[in-house]
Amino acid sequence: MENILGVREPAAPPEPSRPAPVGRRLSVNVALDVGEAIDMLAKRHRTTITDVIRRAISTYKFIDDEVTSGGKILVERNGAVREVTFL
């Protein structure tokens, strides 16, 4: 780019690129019983509250994807199989 005197000025150095965000921070309010269930699961599986919530969302998405595409969720206990329905 030339200035008003016709002298070519060097281009501005490119701005340093910023790394892409690794995640998204959320703040969520939950009922007391839900908070207690999250705490219990974190202790039972020796993990963090964040990991419990990540796993819950991943599981929910898997189930939703399967049911939406026509699949069924079945639970087998003591030889008896039943279909789980979600509202």
What's the rounded Cα separation, in Å, for the pair 72 and 78? 19
Residue predicted with more confidence, 75 or 25: 75
Q: What is the pLDDT of residue 42?
A: 97
Q: Is residue 17 part of a domain?
A: no
Q: Is residue 22 part of a domain?
A: no
Arithmetic mean of pLDDT, 33-62: 97
Q: Is residue 41 part of a domain?
A: yes
Arithmetic mean of pLDDT, 33-59: 97
Burial of 63 (0-12, 13-18, 19+ CB in 10 A): middle
Number of domains in the chain: 1
pLDDT at residue 71 tops 90: yes
For residue 72, what are the domain limits?
32-84
Q: What is the pLDDT of residue 1?
A: 59
Q: Is residue 50 part of a domain?
A: yes
Average pLDDT over all residues of the chain: 89
SS3 74: strand
Q: pLDDT band for 87, please (50, 70, 90 cuts).
A: confident
pTM (two decimals):
0.68
